[in-house]
Structure 1
Amino acid sequence: MTRTNKIKVVVASDQPVVLSGLQNWFDTHERYRVSVCAPNAELLLSRLEHAAGELIVMACTIDSSSEAWPVMREARRRSPDAPIVVLTLQTDAHQLRAIHTAGAAGIVSKHDDVRELERVCSRVLSGMTQVMSKSVAALCDAARSFDGAAYRGVRLTVKAFNAPS
């Protein structure tokens, strides 16, 4: 039995392989239907004007022009009820937090298994925010556990160490 009321997904990436992969993955799942497929930021924003989606999945490279994430913010403005899930190669915890701050409901690493994408999308669609894949959460936890502020102002001197032969 196939679903008649599928979740409409907007996918966007400036990388054709990623865009094709996302479209194929969502279209092969009974729960989803791709309503908009955008290969660049301009098309994403113009297509959001005419076609609604219940979930937006975008590759981070489409919006990595600055730390302000203007495309994601504009997508949020044009589709305020559609949560955004970002696919990224970013490993810097501060940048990952900035993606959430800019309006992403979920973040998934491009290195993650597609089951993580599915898990994050399901949680975001249930209303959760600040959702991360397990690998992204591990990066943020590792950064939190090391507080570099405690070492500010400390000078280290390196001396040669010669072990006895």
Structure 2
Amino acid sequence: MKERGKYYAVVADDHAIVRSGLRSALETPGQIEPDGIDVMGEAENGLEAIALARQHKPDLLLLDVQMPLAGGVEVVVEVRRWSPNTKIVVLTGVTAKGMIGALIESGVDGLFSKGDDNSELYRRLPGILRGQRHIAERFVDALKDTAAAPQLTGRERQVLNMILAGHANKDIAEILGISAKTVDKHRTSMMQKLGVHSVPQLMAYALREGLVDPASEL
């Protein structure tokens, strides 16, 4: 764990004004770190976020989970795959308990709400960079009285997102680099866990639990 020295970050959000504000705060000396945090790249969609994390292996990824092309836990899983030491901090407007629970289960290092003042984010980032974890209190409170949701593996969540995007098993297999038989196995396991028996039921579940953005093109 790096205790001293320069830190490097990637900022991922589909709104340029948000990226600009976060970049300015990160890079300003003394705002978060004495020497500032260098931003190595900005991403406006989920695939760009994964690619930049894979390329730069930054100390920090500031991530919005509602972005085009890839989002939610899918991005977290892929970043962990290619850059396991990157601290992933999610700044989101999502309030659905299903998505919040999934993000916490995925092991994100920080989870903050866009509805709160960014001062908490900036105050907590130094500790997160050094190995601490912080979940905003509003999310902890929201989940206190919620029954435990079925736990999907990272791969099952990837398959879920791709099914909802309209991909067939063969296409999913090619994208993920696995066999169609393995995709079918993940699909069967996932649907059993969620208690659904068709793609429409799966879509309804995902929308209800906030596992997919209702405004996205499915």
State the TM-score, normalized to the length of structure 2: 0.56
Higher mean C-alpha displacement, 14-23 vs 78-87: 14-23
Identity rate, percent: 27
* Residue in 2 that maps onto 1:19: 19
Q: Which has the larger radius of gyration?
A: 1
* Residue in 1 that maps onto 2:76: 72
* Aligned-pair Cα RMSD in Å: 2.4
Q: Once the 2 structures are TM-superposed, how far is the Cα of residue 113 of structure 1 from its aligned partner?
A: 1.1
Q: Using the alignment, how far apart are the partners of 2:71 and 2:41 within structure 1?
A: 24
Q: Once the 2 structures are TM-superposed, how far is the Cα of residue 63 of structure 1 from its aligned partner?
A: 7.3
* Amino acid corresponding to residue 83 of structure 1 in structure 2: K
* Residue in 2 that maps onto 1:60: 65
Task: Pick the structure with more strand per residue.
Answer: 1
Task: Pick the structure with more helix per residue.
Answer: 2
Q: Once the 2 structures are TM-superposed, how far is the Cα of residue 56 of structure 1 from its aligned partner?
A: 0.9
State the TM-score, normalized to the length of structure 1: 0.72
Q: Once the 2 structures are TM-superposed, how far is the Cα of residue 52 of structure 1 from its aligned partner?
A: 2.5
What is the DSSP-based 3-state SS (H/G/I as helix, E as strand, rest coil) of the residue aligned with 1:60? coil
Q: Report if the CA contact (8 A) 1:120-1:132 is conserved.
A: no
* Amino acid corresponding to residue 16 of structure 2 in structure 1: P
Equivalences for residues 15-164 of structure 1 within 5 A: 15-30=15-30, 31=33, 32-62=37-67, 69-129=73-133, 131-141=134-144, 143-144=145-146
Runs of 4+ in 1 over 4 A off after TM superposition: 63-67
Q: Using the alignment, how far apart are the partners of 1:64 and 1:46 within structure 2?
A: 12
Gaps of 5+ in 2: 148-218
Gaps of 5+ in 1: 148-165
* Residue in 1 that maps onto 2:176: none
Q: Report if the CA contact (8 A) 1:12-1:37 is conserved.
A: yes
Q: Using the alignment, how far apart are the partners of 1:51 and 1:66 within structure 2?
A: 20
Q: Once the 2 structures are TM-superposed, how far is the Cα of residue 102 of structure 1 from its aligned partner?
A: 2.1
What is the DSSP-based 3-state SS (H/G/I as helix, E as strand, rest coil) of the residue aligned with 1:72? helix
